[in-house]
A and B are shown apart, each in its own frame.
Chain A
């Protein structure tokens, strides 16, 4: 433990005070917490807007349509050719803004439909392969009698593989054989329910661990960078 050595950095003080304002919600809702909350939302929105403009809108739409604009940020850069393809995202973006005009709001469905359709088409194949087929292969692909590289039975891995397969089948059975009123119909489905409960418990425990890590991180900042105690 070190002695007190309070930071003289404005940045550190702002961070520390905002952290304390957010923590104050644990006592009760209060104006300090509200202030920090609103400031966070405002700063985040502004940050995303600025980053979005300079990393997406400017290089992908403005510069291709107005090549000379590249000199605004890099005077020594050479202007590229005019790219008419950039008109397409520009048009879709403008159609999205039609939502703000009640008479034209229907036009905003077109870019939404385009984004949904392309995303679905692009994503479905990947999800089927990675989260469905590859997961089936992982569960049953090599069977449950696994061997070590020198050919001996790997008992620990075999038991783990058998438990995974049994647990997966029990969970599927639970979902397919649970009566409408919610009663579990068979011992195997009960096993599935048990596996699900263990899984949810592990997920919750993991989430708690993550939150504690964030608490430790903030307290390290407060006690280290701000107060110099550690």
Chain B
């Protein structure tokens, strides 16, 4: 704790750990009582949803899981929403990753979502996992012309030509949409530079809140849509819930997370107002509380 002087105003003596504690308790309370705030798909998220809606059943969709467990709370809900949507629409999903941890992320989707919500889905027909390959942006660029030159088999060792979901896929242009869910490098930026712009491939993305500002300028010319942070995932879930009522869970993971998120934001805004109010009062000659 900081050394405190009785003459100092209370707010200037306040240990920052009280702020941490207040924030943690407010998030815990919000998790226990589960406030749900209504959401709707925004301008950046709607194009992704509309694109998947417009694809003919059987058109494969590529999802690159470029993240690790540390950023999963933000990006996994996006992967789940895309997976739900694709399976409901009959669009075969193809997971791969530029990150070594991507294999585990795909396994979590298979065990936690596909196996429980869509037990009728068949591996190889409705989804396939190619897994991780080293190479980053060079790998992504090489796949524009030939997926098979980089991935001889899927993650289970099945040759690509024996996988029905990829029967008509030669390069990335044969996917109805390529989506990178990215927490860093290599990730969405590399997909924009080396695939979207280089090959004219329809590309969308999902990113963490930290990374979002660097991707906004790419919309709409270089990225057809962007899910930014948990809010982006919640917007996608809102679109799903509206179009497929009864076929998706009533409250999905990102929507559930946005309640505590909003409460935490209110607490932070409250502290900012309190701090600035105290500063202004001191500057105007009064003493801060």
Taking Cβ atoms with an 8 Å cutoff, the residues of A that contact B are: 1, 26-27, 47-48, 51-52, 55-56, 60, 74, 122-123, 126-127, 129-131, 134-135, 137-138, 199, 202-203, 206-220, 223, 229-230
Known: A134-B197, A134-B221, A199-B213. A216 touches B257 (CB 8 A): yes
Taking a contact as CB atoms under 8 Å apart, the answer to whether B198 and A126 are in contact is yes
Which of A127, A208, A212, A230 is within 8 Å of B34, CB to CB? Answer: A230
Residues 203-231 (chain B) with a chain A CB within 8 angstroms: 208-210, 212-213, 217, 221-222, 228-231
**Quick check: B31 and A230 within 8 Å, CB to CB?**
yes
Q: List 12 A-B contacts (CB under 8 A).
A: A26-B17, A26-B20, A27-B17, A47-B100, A126-B197, A134-B221, A137-B221, A138-B222, A212-B265, A213-B261, A216-B264, A230-B31
Judge whether A206 and B27 touch: CB under 8 Å: no
In the complex, B260 has a CB within 8 A of chain A: yes
CB pair A55 B100 closer than 8 Å: yes
Contacts of A74 in B (CB 8 A): 157
Q: A126 and B193 in contact (CB under 8 A), knowing A47-B100, A134-B222, A216-B260?
A: yes
Known: A47-B100, A135-B217. A210 touches B210 (CB 8 A): yes
Give the residue name and chain of the A residue nearest to B131 (CB).
A55
B264 pairs with A215, CB closer than 8 A: yes
Contact yes or no, B230 A213, CB < 8 A: yes
Indicate if B194 sits at the interface (CB-CB under 8 A): yes
Contact indicator A213/B197 (Cβ below 8 Å): no
Q: Give bound CA distance, A207 to B210, whole Å.
A: 4
Q: How far is the CB of A100 from chain B (nearest CB, A)?
A: 23
* B31 lies within 8 A of A216 (CB): yes
A206 touches which one: B133, B212, B268 (CB < 8 A)? B212
Interface size class of B (residues with CB under 8 A): 35 or more
Interface of B, secondary structure class, is: helix
B122 within 8 A of A: no
Give the residues in chain B near A56, CB-CB below 8 Å. 134
A122 to B198, CA, bound (A): 12
User: Bound complex: CA of A1 vs CA of B28, how far in Å?
Assistant: 11
List which B245-289 residues lie within 8 A (CB) of chain A.
Answer: 257, 260-261, 264-265, 268
Q: Are B134 and A55 in contact (CB under 8 A)?
A: yes
Interface flags, B8-32, vs A, CB<8A=1, else 0: 0000000001001001100110011
Asked if B31 and A219 make an inter-chain contact with CB atoms under 8 angstroms apart, the answer reads yes
Most chain A beta-carbon contacts within 10 A, residue among B73, B193, B228, B257: B73
Asked whether, in the complex, the Cβ of A219 is within 8 Å of the Cβ of B134, the reply is no
A77 CA to B224 CA, complexed, in Å: 42
Q: Give the residue of B31, B193, B230 whose beta carbon is less than 8 angstroms from that of A127.
A: B193
| A55/B132 in contact, CB under 8 A | yes
CB pair B209–A213 under 8 Å, yes or no, is: yes
Please, what's the 1-or-0 string for B108-141, where 1 marks a CB less than 8 Å from any CB in chain A? Answer: 0000000000000000000000001110001000
In chain B, what residue has the closest Cβ to A57?
Answer: B134
Contact (A217, B261) CB under 8 Å given A209-B209, A230-B31: no
Check if A223 sits within 8 Å of B221, measured CB to CB.
no
- How distant is B19 from chain A, measured CB to nearest CB, in Å? 10
A126 CB contacts on chain B under 8 angstroms: 193-194, 197-198
CA distance A27 to B34 in the complex (A): 27
Q: Which of B23, B24, B70, B212 contacts A214 (CB 8 A)?
A: B70
Q: Which residues of chain A are near B261, meaning CB under 8 Å? A: 209, 212-213, 216
Residue in contact with A219 in the complex, picked from B27, B157, B217, B222, CB distance below 8 Å: B27
Given contacts A52-B134, A209-B265, A214-B74, contact A223 B197 (CB under 8 A): no
